[in-house]
Amino acid sequence: MKTLLRLIRWVRIFVAIRRIRKATSAQTEKTAKQTLSKLMAANRGISMKVGQVMAGMEDSNDFVNLTSSIEPWPLKHIIPLLESHWQTSIDTHLIHIEESQAAASLGQVHLAQLQDKQYVAIKVQYPDIAKAMHSEISMINLMPSVGPVKKWGFDLDAYKNNLHENMQRELNYDIEMQHQITFASKCQVEGLHIPKVYPLLSGKNILVQERVEGVRLQATTSWSLMERLQLGRTLMSTLFQSLFSTGLVHGDPHPGNLLYQRTKSQPIVHLLDYGCVIKVKQERRLALLKLILSLRGECQQSILDAFVALGFNEKKLICIQSQLSPLAFVLFQPFLEKKACQLQDWHPAQEIESVLGEQKWWFRAAGPADLFLLMRAFQGLIQQLKTLNVQLPWWPLLTQSLPKEMISQAAYLDIPTVAHNLENETYENVRYLKVKIEKEGAEKQHFSFDAIAALHLEILIPEHVATELKKTHIDIVSISTKLRQQGLEKKILFDLTIKNNHYCAWVE
């Protein structure tokens, strides 16, 4: 019954999303967003996580309640959970405990004081949330590919598996506690504070940690420029050190997970909630650093090879190889500036659109499933710096955040070479592969790729189209194989009509 109720709520959420898309006025859209926000808050779990992503990193939008607090459970329902875990009365460990003021997607936080007078925050997981999450993940696994996901060939199974693994970790507070301890020991940044945890009082569903005081980011906008610059340096150094040096990145930088505190010496950033942490292997970290060094002109590196080393799909990237260089300069522009980066003048979404157009979806489909969380970490940093209204030099701060030997280690990293390059002799006389699909006289899909993409035609043509073509004895794999054997030249690869649907592909 509970699973059915959650399914019904999900249906209502999808209806609300559809109303937002069809809204014809700003007021209608705002009302629909507020309705969606309430539905997500009521459902908690994955839907609330999605809402927190939609809320972004600002404190001024229609989903902000999902990053601040929703209606918590009364304390009387939480005390039995604590006593069951501790196998004793709460008075054994606590002098007092307060009603929760901070409920979240998987649990809620209560402020308390231990018998040794230490002030703590106790995070308690909702007893039914694990089953609810598993049922939601099961429903998500049944979802078919639609829209850009289907059109551009996203590896939906990889995304689903990544989501499942992340939620499994977030549901286990023992794992979160270990991440928090590791992060505190390895990420030593001036101005950063990571709350101490109490392992003996914590467990899979309970996390007891040091209580910290502070305000949310928006409240710091009235602080002095010096204080805001110090906060900006702390935030940047934390991400740079955790990503490149430690390989353990906080993947959920929404406003509710950071508190800022004024002190006499310098302002402090309290980084909270380590349920969503991304582990990045050293090979990928060094490849990313070498890519930046190459764009800065400090070493030589194939852009294609570097992206593949980061986990991108080789065959997909080859199809847009000629656009990778300008794209990389857009993506990494803050690291390439010789002085403080003016983030208000940097518009990556618009610049990516000008470089790739609709093929931006192809590039995203080529990326690894965990790229979303890494991008979210960087997006969080950018929004934090914009809110603080500070400009800082990215490259100098990056080099200061890393061990000195790491830069040279990255510069001399030997990244494997991708098999196919634009310099192949088969590419000399042609530039593009064009694919057009029309349904009942109306153009539905029109792709344009580097001509070398024809050598991997099987990954470009949608599976249902390839199946239809095969019925007429047109085998996409055979076409690609023959092109690899004979070379590329200007020609029509196939052109036919099946049941009022027209399919055409050619090299020009």
The DSSP result for 310-366, as a single string, is: TT--HHHHHTTHHHHHHHHHHHTHHHH-SS---GGG--HHHHHHHHHGGGHHHHHHH
Do 329 and 411 fall into the same domain? yes
Position 193 pLDDT exceeds 70: yes
Q: What is the mean pLDDT of residues 243-250?
A: 94
Position 398 pLDDT exceeds 90: yes
Q: What is the mean pLDDT of residues 297-307?
A: 93
Do 238 and 385 fall into the same domain? yes
Confidence band of 202 (pLDDT split at 50, 70, 90): very high
Query: Which of 275, 22, 11 is closest to 139 using CA atoms?
Result: 11
Greatest mean pLDDT among 209-213, 252-256, 337-341, 423-427 lies in 209-213
- What's the confidence (pLDDT) of residue 476? 84
Asked if the structure places residue 302 within a domain, the reply is: yes
Q: What is the mean pLDDT of residues 74-100?
A: 95
Query: Which of 464, 323, 383 is closest to 375 using CA atoms?
Result: 383
Do 437 and 479 fall into the same domain? yes
Do 353 and 464 fall into the same domain? no
Least confident of 5-19, 22-36, 139-153: 139-153
Query: Which of 274, 254, 288, 289 is closest to 209 using CA atoms?
Result: 274
Asked if the structure places residue 181 within a domain, the reply is: no
The domain of 456 spans 425-507
Do 371 and 448 fall into the same domain? no
Confidence band of 67 (pLDDT split at 50, 70, 90): very low
Query: Which of 155, 132, 118 is closest to 42 using CA atoms?
Result: 132
Query: Which of 395, 404, 419, 414 is closest to 301 using CA atoms?
Result: 414
Asked if the structure places residue 268 within a domain, the reply is: yes
Q: Which of 49, 66, 83 is the last residue of a domain?
A: 66
Do 436 and 373 fall into the same domain? no
Do 399 and 481 fall into the same domain? no
Look up the pTM and report it. 0.78
- What's the confidence (pLDDT) of residue 57? 47
**pLDDT one-digit tens code per residue, 316-369:** 888 888 889 999 999 999 999 888 988 888 888 889 888 888 788 888 889 998
Asked if the structure places residue 22 within a domain, the reply is: yes
Asked if the structure places residue 115 within a domain, the reply is: no
Do 413 and 443 fall into the same domain? no
Do 224 and 296 fall into the same domain? yes
Q: Which of 66, 88, 106 is the last residue of a domain?
A: 66
The answer to whether 285 and 252 are in contact (CB under 8 A) is no
Q: How many domains is the chain built from?
A: 3
CA distances from 294 to 58, 303, 336, 410 (A): 33, 8, 10, 10
List Cβ neighbours of 229 (8 Å cut-off, separation of 6 or more): 390, 392
Asked if the structure places residue 178 within a domain, the reply is: no
Query: Which of 277, 77, 304 is closest to 186 using CA atoms?
Result: 277
How far apart CA 480 and CA 483 sit, in angstroms, is: 5
Neighbouring C-beta atoms of residue 341, cutoff 10 Å: 20
Do 236 and 326 fall into the same domain? yes
Asked if the structure places residue 38 within a domain, the reply is: yes
Do 371 and 444 fall into the same domain? no
- What's the confidence (pLDDT) of residue 422? 45
Q: Which of 356, 388, 419 is the last residue of a domain?
A: 419
More confident position, 387 or 9: 387
Kindly give the pairing relationship between strand 119-125 and strand 206-210: antiparallel
Do 327 and 437 fall into the same domain? no
Position 8 pLDDT exceeds 90: no
**pLDDT one-digit tens code per residue, 399-446:** 999 998 999 999 999 999 886 554 444 456 777 888 888 877 665 667
Asked if the structure places residue 436 within a domain, the reply is: yes
List Cβ neighbours of 303 (8 Å cut-off, separation of 6 or more): 291, 294, 324, 325, 328
